[in-house]
Amino acid sequence: MKKYTIALFVAIISVVAILVSSFVDTASIKNLSIAKAQEDQAAGEQHATPKMDSFTAGKAFSQAQGGLGNIDATVVRGKNYLLTQVDNRLKQLDPIRTKVSNMTALGESERESLVSELNAEISMFEAFKAEINKSVTQQEVRNVADRIKAEWIKSRRSVESAEKQILAVNEEQLISNADTATLGMQKRIDNLKASGKSTKAHEKLLVAYGKKITSAKQDVESAKEKFEAVASAPTEDEKVKLMQAKDLLLKSAQGNVKEAYKILAEGARQDFSQRYK
């Protein structure tokens, strides 16, 4: 029975540790379409990165007026701007592709479909580099910029679909792992009762654990609602606010899961201590 108890608590802690890790991964990839742009802008890019997940073709020449007057220099400026934006987009898409590829909880066909979409987008943006470099006139640069803008809008849909799936899978994992841990704790309580021992401390821990997991579930559900509301938001500022709210909710969920893990770990330590005094 002692070996069973030790194995049980180790298993419970391992399950919750995995759950915490899944939320850490979510936080690291959070809203890449915004976060990466903000990082690049803060690093002092020559041209400001567009807000949200957007691309404005006209910005390729927005800095050319009144300063250079030299057509060749203007073309170079436009090309450099487009190359910067293409590189930024590739830096956003690649981590999302990696994340989706590693999501074993997602159905194989669905995972392959999402990865295929992202691969196609990445290949398209890679191909734009050659087109940009071959451009020699302002009109050619504008033509490439228009094609990049169209593809940018298309890739945004792929990113939104991937992020939605990531949220859904994390919610399913949260529920499944929480149920497993709860079942393990309840079995331990039942065994103690059958042995005529006090279960007050364990029941208290189970209640505290349940509250933290319930809060985490609510945060994830609210994050999904915020994410789904982005599509219908009337302005870019409102979209940014919704995505920021989503990120904060996911951070809160991550924090609640970590606290739940600590509760289980403390219960295990108490149990081991009582057994081997």
| pLDDT tens readout for residues 66-85 | 444 456 888 898 999 999 99
Percent of the residues in the chain that have a pLDDT greater than 90, as a whole number: 14
- Confidence check: pLDDT of 50 > 90: no
Q: Using DSSP, state whether 12 is helix, strand or coil.
A: helix
Q: Check residue 107 and report its DSSP letter.
A: -
Please indicate, yes or no, whether the overall pTM of this predicted structure exceeds 0.75: no
Of 151, 166, 185, 139, which Cα lies nearest the Cα of 227? 166
| Amino acid 39: pLDDT | 37
Are 173 and 26 contacting, i.e. CB atoms less than 8 angstroms apart?
A: no
Residue 153 or residue 45, greater confidence: 153
Number of structural domains the chain divides into: 1
Q: What is the mean pLDDT of the chain?
A: 74
**Domain with 42 in it:** 2-275
CA-CA-CA-CA torsion for 161, 162, 168, 169, nearest 10 degrees?
150
| Amino acid 273: pLDDT | 62
| Amino acid 135: pLDDT | 92
